[in-house]
Chains A and B, each alone.
Chain A
């Protein structure tokens, strides 16, 4: 009940969305057989809508939407991993596929509703009526904080949603978000009509009012913390962190290399990670390219290859760029999606939802890349080998980041393990 004074460090830890704790790696003593990775950051690429695994990372025999013949929509091509093929619209990724691990045996049981599946993949578990689980980004923010002091731990490029939120971990483990790279982060970016000089005038006025207020009122901790948060916030909104968002400072070639808005988001993600942000979720929600985005019902299928090509360009550029900046080993890049799609076509040439088997991708992060986990049957409908549950997938990401997937968090006095008995995919970790 009692409020007590917070040290500056504590304040920073509590400060929100922008849990700015600058912490070292949390280290845990791995239980026998639980591997521990060396990644210190994560870029979580989100293909919202449910990307079709057999049209991307798990190609199968060719189908035909016109004839409603089940199968992949595109031809397969060879990759840098011997004997492993991906779809023909991923040529650049194919060339560096040895930096990645395709997990072809992801599965869960939600297909009827996007929001529920999005929640499932972000929290790694089915919902229960009595608690709200945190997202993988919030758990990471909670466990590791930001890599550098004065920075947010968790940034989302996409729309804010409860599934991306901190759940019972509370506001301090929430995200900072932006919906478009050119708009910058909501609330952080100084309004365009307030140039630095005007902001200084404002700050000077405010400083006077605050001093005057504290002269008339006792300096209570609640108010004090708020004012301190405000001062920290202004620093965050200041030039140092805002420079990270200035993509113009990258060379023209680099920007062109990454491609359109999604590519620019990936480039910004690299800059954020470089600056010390711990977890960046990058949403690929540019559904105007083909209408439906990755949710390729009906006519959405027709131009799906354009989405795949954008993904190819941005993802491969990101890996190459991270490598160039010597960060790929320490940055885990994930391609995640809420579910896959069936090999069958609907009567307008598109595809429905499918979650009994689908693919997600891990790259860099110091993992033993250059392998494929899981095998599906001839049309990608059944998992034949090495099923990876969402708990296992999350556990793999956490382990790669040095977080114990079995550690307990607390919702009030109720213990909640970070994953529900998730087991990291062992062969991805160097022994």
Chain B
């Protein structure tokens, strides 16, 4: 371990190291005498012309110790550090204890060696032999990247031909390892001719593991077969590319030789890390001699590993996530600190914790990053023996036991273009392993383990260039002789098997753990941000306190008043001579309020809890329970997806695609984020673009001015200002001009905007006189400006200044300022509309259309004031509305605008689907919402939206290609169900109130479609089976089923109807099965992915799945079939009754 070099992760560390060096000099320490290591003598014996030992401790020059002497001395440029540790004893026995090396840092550092002139020792022509060698400790190299060890010419210096590469030795990243790459340009040097370059790459490469490596290359110009490489003492071959092998002479001139970089110091071709003992010869040093240059003795890896793991706690798996690492696991030294560490129970992963910004919004990790998991496992004395171990990973992963590599998987293969074959199902003869998921690799090994403690380490590379950085199905399982595979768990943790059912159990448990971790991380990361909001809310309260109060009117309907809202509403009813409707029953109330808060109908447990509460205020308590329920967040996501036009595409960009910022919306409502903070984070568009952060909102693909689209969304959502028409011309039916919208767009952009031609309405059509006015010309420049001074005036309150560094911050502040009453009014009006079916101002997102005045202006102001006083807490206003008599009234036919009675509302598409699946307890779908489950395509064109658990998580399945192989048959059924009930599969534009027209397809889809049929079907996984199988008297079963579906006891008619149908054979309904066959069956493997979707087999597989889905879930064999069908028919009738679909 001691021999490992300090890593240089970034420029900051580098600066720190420089500081240390200079401090040393300032103290006046003398440089030690320049003693050469034994290694130098070996080199000198071969008479190099140039030999740069890098022993200097300070200064700007390095010495040449080769035969040519001082004339080839080097000058340091930019980020170069001298005096750093090179290969040393004891790991490298040819060196001494003091050997020093250069470190080249970011963005680029290099050494310039001047060419002494014509036919100099640095010039090589046909017939000349060359040997180049060096010790390297390269720190980073990405796929396809080529960094210079040394090169003559191609410096971009003035006065020399471009591309004038006489020779160069570089390291090239090929499939995760660093290969030697020799490059020269032939003397033709025709401009733009790529084939005048000749490049030779070594077949073998080395792993960037933080250690020093020796590389050497020999070649005689004119003889392409003479190229050979030596890497760490092993000779190796390679092959030519670009112009291929050639006997043409190289380009020769008087340009400089550079060590460590090229092309003017371009960071992309600059060496990052340690360089030492660079030597250049004008003859072929024999390969055997070059091979002997490398000698390294490393300490027993067990010791290093144990030393590093000493402090690891027992009984838990310690997981570390390391960012900005090379594309190969096993190269991050154990001593490096991870960017994130946490603990879990086993070496099995369905995901990792999210990363968050300092405002607590979802952020991205580097791609790739390294996941390292370590744990101790203790084996009792009697357990010494042979073990089978299986490692499963998507890309490269290494498993070490006690420091020794025991299993590994290779890098994921690339170029998944659709033409591959559907992978064969690897059927190992082991029946105790779940099927290998698509895109997963595995290695099965046998190891001998003795009694005692063993240290396991799993290093897995997550993601990679052009691949998505996802973690799933990553695991290590172990089986003793004759035993079954178990997921490798830390000591004292419960053992889990490795069957499908086990994995599903692990999945739900780990996802819950991760959600808890994420919640804590969000709160922890955003403390300062939260404090800023607390200050703002205090200031907002003070501001409101200074304004005149809003008088609450008296009303004359005793017993019809729960809170202030009812005063406002009832006084208007008094004026109109109308009487408020009576309260709904407790059953109806609970169903209504459950759907309005958590988006699903109440469970039997929730109904029981409500009625077990004997207090008079039990409705209040029910409201409190529901407001605290995390499902509150689920019920809001679909709403804001519509309003904010969240529109992720899982396959390649289409019109107005955004990132999936649904996850940020979800977390915001889970955390009950203040609404002004929510809007500010949205406007700031920070964090992850494709991983669910609000940066996803900044995207609008195929849109000529995305920020104009965003400005239109924001004004409609939060100011009730519809600027859709202003996108291309001045709005004919609204007082808004294109200039104003683009002023906002410029605020979002942070600079002047130029209006593109494509954003101007063409008026050439039709020839009739247009109502539309275009007042701006293409090419007009629009400066950032806030166009609504009447809403939030010229001066922002002092409390907001903290947040106003640029125009985007200013826009956020003006939108959410407590001085901007419109914002608070729009939000409380949205809430009112959601709960009452019609807004106090309606439509809620267009306050300026003709005749759109508030029906209850004072109430609106009152609620807005309460909202600001409550720190923009949505739940506080929600509690006020839900507790009001007005909300709890029965549905009636009276004038809806005065709220004498409640309005009949239909469940939203999401509420229907979620309630159906909540009743049946079945999974919405097992399919991942991605067309590339293997994760081999980049996130920019292939999203993975995961396995949906609530309806809002679904998305357009993007099968415009019409290919059966791209179908997701189970998810498609749900998407279609949602669609016919008004949900939008794609949301290119904002929308608040969906089309609610009753269509024939709605009841039909519920009655005959797969989603409805799955709820009705009494298969073994239907939660209703629990009731059916419980030994209840028939009347109680009828009661519970009706309660579960309609949230109320059956009516007399229903009781009679159902018991007449179900009593026959009721006592004999249950069939006792002799065999226990309830274990989850292994499903047919669906290995179809983008990589193979063009194969005939992919189509066949998907069409078969489609047919299976249409056939429906298999009925339970635990029920008499005839009775089961009658029971199913009762469930069917309850679900298809209008009472299920419409709120009470």
Contacts and interface: CB of A to CB of B under 8 A. Distances in A.
A130 B989 contact: yes
Contact of B1106 (A179, A193, A232): A179
A17 B1125 contact: no
Interface stretch (A293-301, A361-369, A380-388, A392-400): A293-301
B813 interface: no
B891 to A, nearest CB: 7
Contact of B1004 (A116, A174, A187): A187
A227 B1138 contact: yes
B995 A171 contact: yes
Given A226-B906, A233-B1001, A288-B1100, A130 B727 contact: yes
Interface in A93-126: 113-116, 118-119
A18 B980 CA distance: 11
Contacts of A279: none
B1008 A1 contact: no
A287 B997 contact: no
Given A1-B896, A198-B1129, A206-B1133, A129 B1106 contact: no
A90 interface: no
Given A17-B980, A205-B1133, A222-B906, 5 more contacts: A205-B1057, A220-B893, A226-B1003, A233-B1004, A289-B1096
Nearest to B771: A415
Contacts of B1007: 187, 230, 233-234
20 contacts: A16-B997, A48-B963, A129-B704, A160-B979, A171-B982, A171-B1001, A179-B964, A187-B1001, A187-B1005, A202-B1136, A213-B1137, A213-B1138, A220-B904, A230-B1002, A230-B1003, A230-B1007, A285-B961, A285-B963, A406-B766, A421-B764
Contacts of A298: 417, 419
A295 B144 CA distance: 30
A413 B772 CA distance: 12
A176 interface: yes
A253 interface: no
Given A213-B1139, A233-B1004, A161 B959 contact: yes
Contacts of B956: 162
B138 interface: no
Interface in A139-161: 158-161
Contact of B965 (A46, A116, A287): A287
A-B pairs with lowest CB-CB distance, top 4: A16-B999, A230-B1003, A205-B1133, A288-B1099
B35 interface: no
Given A129-B709, A413-B733, A186 B963 contact: no
Nearest to A11: B998
Nearest to B977: A187
B997 A420 contact: no
Contact of A283 (B962, B1001, B1005, B1134): B962
Interface string A186-199: 11111111000010
A201 interface: yes
B831 interface: no
A20 B960 CA distance: 26
Nearest to B645: A129
B995 A170 contact: yes
B989 A210 contact: no
Interface of B: 417-419, 651-656, 700, 702-704, 708-709, 712, 724-725, 727-728, 733, 764-766, 838, 842, 891-893, 896-897, 904, 906, 956, 958-965, 967, 972-973, 975-976, 979-980, 982, 985-986, 988-989, 995-1005, 1007-1010, 1013, 1051, 1053-1054, 1057, 1061, 1094-1096, 1099-1100, 1103, 1106-1107, 1110-1112, 1125-1126, 1129-1130, 1132-1134, 1136-1139, 1141-1142
Contacts of B655: 116, 119, 127, 129
A234 to B, nearest CB: 8
A116 B654 contact: yes
A92 interface: no
Contacts of A91: none
B1096 A288 contact: yes
A46 B962 contact: yes
A237 B1004 contact: yes
A16 B1002 contact: yes
Interface in A195-217: 198, 201-202, 205-206, 208-210, 212-213, 216-217
A129 B1061 CA distance: 55
Contact of A206 (B965, B976, B1099, B1137): B1137
Contacts of B1138: 210, 213, 223, 226-227
Interface of A: 1-2, 11, 14-18, 20, 46, 48-49, 113-116, 118-119, 127-132, 158-163, 170-172, 174, 176, 179-180, 183, 186-193, 198, 201-202, 205-206, 208-210, 212-213, 216-218, 220, 222-223, 225-230, 232-234, 236-237, 283, 285-289, 291-293, 295, 298-300, 406, 413-414, 417, 420-421
A128 B1094 CA distance: 32
B1134 A209 contact: yes
Contacts, number: 265
A117 to B, nearest CB: 9
Contact of B1000 (A20, A46, A213): A20
A170 B818 CA distance: 38
A292 B999 CA distance: 37
Contact of B985 (A20, A162, A230, A286): A162
Nearest to B901: A218
B1061 A205 contact: yes
Given A160-B976, A233-B1000, A218 B892 contact: yes
A276 to B, nearest CB: 15
A1 B839 CA distance: 11
Contacts of B988: 127, 129, 132
B1137 A114 contact: no
Contacts of A218: 891-893
Contacts of B982: 171
A188 B976 CA distance: 13
Contacts of A160: 972, 975-976, 979
Contact of A287 (B964, B1129, B1130, B1134): B964
A130 B1094 CA distance: 35
A286 B965 CA distance: 10
A299 to B, nearest CB: 6
Q: Which residue among B419, B654, B961, B1142 has the maximum number of chain A CB atoms within 10 Å of its CB?
A: B961
Contacts of B1003: 226-227, 229-230, 233
B808 to A, nearest CB: 20
Nearest to B722: A412
Given A116-B654, A187-B1009, A291-B1096, A48 B985 contact: no
A227 B1004 CA distance: 11
Nearest to B1133: A205
A218 to B, nearest CB: 6
A287 B1099 contact: yes
B961 to A, nearest CB: 5
Contact of B1008 (A114, A179, A206, A237): A237
A114 B1129 contact: no
A155 B1104 CA distance: 23
Contacts of A187: 976, 980, 1001, 1004-1005, 1007-1009
B963 A129 contact: no
A205 B700 contact: no
A216 B1051 contact: yes
Given A189-B1008, A206-B1136, A220-B893, A225 B998 contact: yes
A173 B1110 CA distance: 25
A129 B893 contact: no
A237 B1003 CA distance: 11
Nearest to A16: B999
Nearest to A158: B962
A131 B712 CA distance: 13
Contacts of B1126: 201
B1112 A193 contact: yes
Contacts of A420: 765
B700 A129 contact: yes
